[in-house]
Amino acid sequence: MRLVYFASLRERIGKSVEEVDVPGSVRTVAELIDWLGARDEAYAATFADGLARTAVDKKHARREASIVGASEVAFFPPMTGG
Amino acid sequence: MSSHKIRVQAENFDAAAEGAALTRGRRDVGALVSFIGLCRDEAGTLEALELEHYPGMAEEEIARMVGEAERRWPLLGVTVIHRHGRILPGEQIVLVLCASAHRAAAFAAAEYLMDFLKSRAPFWKKEHRADGGQGDWVAAKDADEAALARWGER
């Protein structure tokens, strides 16, 4: 699975993209965030405030959304377009 | 029937030319509402804005918003152009054009699209300061999020 990061999250994680092998037991966005945080404290710290927004295969997704079969999950701060 | 054009680009745009293109050859358009968002420097401290975006999702999400606007109002044409990259104070950032037979639908759809572009289109603004200091990411405003509530979606 490809993980992509934008804006302040990209800067905090220190990369814009990475490939990860996510275990089959990790089935939702929330579980993915927990799994990433358990692997690496820097991720846990980045996601600790609960403000990160997520997209699964380029569609906005909430924490309970499924990531099963997804090819790309994105993490980013609240958007400031327009 | 409605036609729409969606562009995410680094280049500047010509709002007048886009408006002319949207109405060219048509006899049924009675109202064309145009909104242009500009890069603003309130206190003389901004050197430039850097706009980051999520390629692919930005276009898809804007297309989804335009589709929803076309479902809600009797639109005859929509153009949305959103720039990314480095933008200087006074330069244009975003263009929304909505054409309809009557003004009410065109005004409402333009406002709807801008409200959603602010908080749902995957763009992020970083400020570069005129004094050379480390710039910050622009924080999302609660007011922008609240603006979505009146449209009764999400």
pTM for the structure as a whole: 0.95
Residues of B in contact with A82 (CB under 8 A): 37, 82, 93-94, 114, 117-118, 121, 123
Put simply, the answer to whether A82 touches B126 (Cβ < 8 Å) is no
CATH architecture, range A2-76: Roll (3.10)
**ipTM rounded to 2 decimals:** 0.95
Put simply, the answer to whether A79 touches B57 (Cβ < 8 Å) is no
Residues of B in contact with A4 (CB under 8 A): 54
Of B53, B94, B126, the CB nearest to A82: B94
Q: What is the 3-state secondary structure (H, E, C) of chain B?
A: CCEEEEEEECCCCCHHHHHHHHHCCCCCCCEEEEEEEECCCCCCCEEEEEEEECCCHHHHHHHHHHHHHHHHCCEEEEEEEEECEEECCCCEEEEEEEEECCHHHHHHHHHHHHHHHHHHCCEEEEEEECCCCCCCECCCCHHHHHHHHCCCCC
- Residue A79, pLDDT > 80, answer yes
| Sequence spans of domains, chain A | 2-76
Residue range B80-99, pLDDT digits in tens: 999 999 999 999 999 999 99
Residue range B4-55, pLDDT digits in tens: 999 999 999 999 999 999 999 999 999 999 999 999 997 889 999 999 999 9
Put simply, the answer to whether B123 touches A74 (Cβ < 8 Å) is no
CATH architecture, range B3-149: Alpha-Beta Complex (3.90)
